[in-house]
Amino acid sequence: MDVIFDRGIYLPGPDLWLDSRRKRPVSCISHAHADHTAAHDRPILTGATLGLLSKLLRRSDPCALEYGDTHHAPSWSLTLYPAGHCLGSAQVLVESKASGHRVLYTGDFRVRPSPTAEPLEPASCDTLIMESTFGSPEYVFPPQEETLARFFATLRRWLAAGCVPVVLAYRMGKAQELLHHLLSEGFEVALEEGAYAVARRHEELGVKFPGGFRSFQGDLRDGETLLFPPGRRTRAALKGIRRKRYMAMSGWAVLDGARRRLGADEALPFSDHADYNELIDYVKAVSPKRVYTVFGFPHLARRLRAEGYDAQHLENGRENIQLRFL
């Protein structure tokens, strides 16, 4: 059974899906990463997410909302709040008009600031459905400024030694965030074609990058840093480039052996997700009566139970969660 295509969170009262991976008549899409999307008939999402997914959703009849605007159905309402994860990413607050019960679904979220994502706004709720990607105690990230300082220093060292830095970051979100940071430090950057196209789309959606950048077409210029998604295709595309040094920027880099696993010469802990402490602090800030954790480690729900929360982990987000309170 291909459980992947059954993923998603279902609210039976409103008959509403959240981040369903299967095409549905109506589903909220929290953000533009492929593991949260499908070509729904009526997706509910932010205008920026719609802009990033325009190809996928070309046959859809979308309901695009600004942050803080409320969509009203007869028995429930829905409001999107910034999630800080990538451009357009949203938390989804669904409120029953009969009972006033509020369900908040975080989608993927990040507490630390990003130059290419709207800052996180916690929203109070009764029931919290939250991601737990880094919901295990080993995933505590150092201060972002510290990591970025190491990032820039390493790349400068490689460039000074006549090497070609290749920064590995996925195409949607992380690549544009790192591009922004690199340009603000004066680096010359050429991006993999797909990441470049997404960066241009970011500009169309209002993101201003602090400098010029170009699409890499096999023609390396002196002193350039390359920005590519991780994976075999990148290795193949860059086969002809000599003296490459790969830099991975990932939350998984807090673990020993991350460099080897990520296939990089250097790996630094930099993520667009909340770390373990930030996940716990977020729950405290939102103060829900009940918590469901999805898409990550079950440890977080255990820790929350130890702190007195009514918390349950839903295994790998593969189940269709039936919430009966709306």
Note whether 275 binds Zn ion by CB under 5 A: no
Note whether 33 binds Zn ion by CB under 5 A: yes
CA separation for the pair 41, 61 (Å, rounded): 6
Q: Tokens 């993101």 identify what position? A: 207
Angle among Cα 14, 63, 72 to the nearest 5 degrees reads 45
Nearest-approach distance from CB 31 to Zn ion, in angstroms: 5
Q: Which stretch binds Zn ion (CB under 5 A): 33-41, 241-249, 289-297, 306-314?
A: 33-41
CA separation for the pair 189, 17 (Å, rounded): 39
Closest to Zn ion by CB, 33 or 180: 33
Closest to Zn ion by CB, 155 or 274: 274
Closest to Zn ion by CB, 108 or 278: 108
Closest to Zn ion by CB, 36 or 313: 36
Closest to Zn ion by CB, 87 or 226: 87
Site residues (CB under 5 A) for Zn ion, limited to 100-119: 108
CA separation for the pair 142, 316 (Å, rounded): 26
Determine contact, residues 221/188, Cβ cutoff 8 Å: yes
Nearest-approach distance from CB 42 to Zn ion, in angstroms: 22
Size of the site for Zn ion (CB under 5 A): 2
Q: Which stretch binds Zn ion (CB under 5 A): 26-34, 40-48, 159-167, 287-295?
A: 26-34
Nearest-approach distance from CB 85 to Zn ion, in angstroms: 6
Nearest-approach distance from CB 33 to Zn ion, in angstroms: 4
CA separation for the pair 299, 68 (Å, rounded): 32
Nearest-approach distance from CB 56 to Zn ion, in angstroms: 15
Determine contact, residues 31/19, Cβ cutoff 8 Å: no
Closest to Zn ion by CB, 102 or 273: 273
User: 3-class DSSP state for residue 188?
Assistant: strand
DSSP secondary structure of 196-231:
HHHHHHHHHTT---SS--EE--S-PPTTEEEEE-SS
Q: Which of 103, 100, 62 is nearest to 79 (CA)?
A: 103
Site string for Zn ion, 216-255 (x = CB under 5 A): ----------------------------------------
Note whether 7 binds Zn ion by CB under 5 A: no
Nearest-approach distance from CB 212 to Zn ion, in angstroms: 28
Nearest-approach distance from CB 36 to Zn ion, in angstroms: 6
Cβ neighbors of 131 (< 8 A, separation 6 or more) are: 106, 107, 108, 109, 273, 293, 294, 295, 296
Q: Which of 38, 36, 42, 34 is nearest to 16 (CA)?
A: 42
Site string for Zn ion, 59-98 (x = CB under 5 A): ----------------------------------------
What value does the CA radius of gyration of the chain take, rounded to a whole number of Å?
Answer: 20
Nearest-approach distance from CB 159 to Zn ion, in angstroms: 31
Closest to Zn ion by CB, 49 or 96: 49
Closest to Zn ion by CB, 33 or 40: 33
The β-bridge relationship of strands 76-82 and 70-72 is: antiparallel
- Residues that bind Zn ion in the complex, under the rule CB under 5 A: 33, 108
